[in-house]
A = this chain, B = another copy of it.
Amino acid sequence: MTVHAEISIVPLGRHDTSMSKEVAAAFDAIHKIKNLKTKLTALGTQVEAKNLDSVLQAVEAAHEAAKSAGAKRVISTVRIDERLDKAQTLQDKVKSVKRKLKK
Contacts of A86 in B (CB 8 A): 17
Cβ of A96: which chain B residues have Cβ within 8 Å of it? 20
Q: Pick the contact of A17 from B39, B63, B73, B79 — CB < 8 Å?
A: B73
Interface residues of A in 22-69 (CB under 8 A from B): 23-24, 27-28, 39-44, 46, 48, 52-53, 56, 59-60, 63, 67
User: Dominant SS at the A interface?
Assistant: mixed
- Chain A interface residue count, Cβ-Cβ cutoff 8 angstroms: 59
Copies of chain A in the complex: 4
User: Would you call A85 and B42 a contact (CB within 8 A)?
Assistant: no
Determine if A40 and B98 form an interchain contact, defined as CB atoms under 8 angstroms apart.
yes
Note all chain B residues with C-beta closer than 8 A to A81: 43, 73-75
